[in-house]
Amino acid sequence: MYARIYLSFNPMNKTFCHMRKTSLLLLLLFAHLGMVTLSAAVKKESRADKIVREIHNPKSKYVIVVCHRGDWRNYPENSLQSIESIIRMGADMMELDLKLTKDSVLVLCHDKTVDRTTTGRGKVSDLTYAEISKLYLRRGHGVADPRYRMPTLREALKVCKDRITVNVDQGYEYYDLVLKVTEELGVTDQVLIKGKHAARDVAEKMASHRHNMMYMPIVGLPGKAGEALINEYKQRNEVPLAYEVCWKEMTPVVKGYMQQILASGAKLWVNALWPSLNGGLDDDAAFDGDPEKVYGQLLGFGASMIQTDRPEYLIKYLQKKGRHTLK
């Protein structure tokens, strides 16, 4: 009896070996199932991923709603709270501006100084982040509130990650620093940066990195610089993801370039912020009058990315048109 018990646990015993093989197979099976489950979880699209997919699809009818400095009507501009608010609204992209502190920290600030938006004074570049972090942000009507502080780019991207995409407006000069943060947080593909730089210079910048953010050129039309930039991309046989087009007055030249942009396969980004950027087709004109005569015209031009100061109002309009349902 004892011999049998001993032999049954003998490593050389066939029964034991069979048990070991069976256990090993079970472990391998569970490991495989775990990897399949993990793989499925990794491949699951986040909301931001879905938005990026729409951005990369030139034939998509979905209109990307870009929020100018966040929900600055209800919270301080470029604040974390303004970002959370537009996410709740269902916006697609947070437009933000960057400045670099004296000790090389990227913070969300539109102006060169902190005078207008905070309780402090002075250039961002002359202040350390420790000094800036003690300042209170001001709401749109100028009243300071201790609940709101100027966030860093890292803090903002953590809030945005997988929930909403990001447009870095003022910040191309800090491209390498921005990319370092986006790579560390795993959000590079969810960030779009823009500028008025020559196509050749942008291509050289991108070539110096293994992985890059999305990039979009800005053009003012009609105008020599804007027209030259569009023609440079054409001559290089390169098609940008999109063009941000600004115009004071709609003319045949402006309309012609818009049609050329769309025909090339690029998207058309327009700004509904104030009249000088869109020939009078701005958010307030839509809000105070007939949105169809404003937003409807922008859609008629072929715009599929609209930057707005009235995101909630624009989203409701687009939803009625069947142009803002994310799949």
Q: What are the pLDDT digits (tens) for 84-101? A: 999 999 999 999 999 999
110 carries an active-site annotation: yes
What's the rounded mean pLDDT across residues 64-92? 98
| pLDDT over 70 (residue 142) | yes
Which of 32, 56, 110, 211 does the annotation list as catalytic?
110
Tell me the HSE value of 263 on the side-chain side, using a 13 A CA sphere: 8
Nearest Cα residue to 259 out of 268, 250, 249, 248: 268
The band of 10, judged by pLDDT with boundaries at 50, 70 and 90, is very low
The band of 140, judged by pLDDT with boundaries at 50, 70 and 90, is confident
The percentage of residues in the chain with a pLDDT greater than 90, rounded to a whole number, is 85
Which of 32, 68, 141, 211 does the annotation list as catalytic?
68
**Dihedral of alpha carbons 215, 276, 125, 68, sign:** negative
* Residues 305-319 pLDDT 10s: 999 999 999 999 999
Q: How far is CA 5 from the centre of its chain?
A: 67
Tell me the DSSP string of 149-177.
-PPBHHHHHHHHTTTSEEEESTTGGGHHH
> Is cis: bond before 151, omega within 30 of 0?
no
* Residues 219-274 pLDDT 10s: 999 999 999 999 999 999 999 999 999 999 999 999 999 999 999 999 999 999 99
**Dihedral of alpha carbons 72, 271, 188, 63, sign:** positive
Q: How far apart are CA 91 and CA 84, in angstroms?
A: 10
* Residues 179-231 pLDDT 10s: 999 999 999 999 999 999 999 999 999 999 999 999 999 999 999 999 999 99
211 carries an active-site annotation: no
The single-letter code of the amino acid at 165 is T
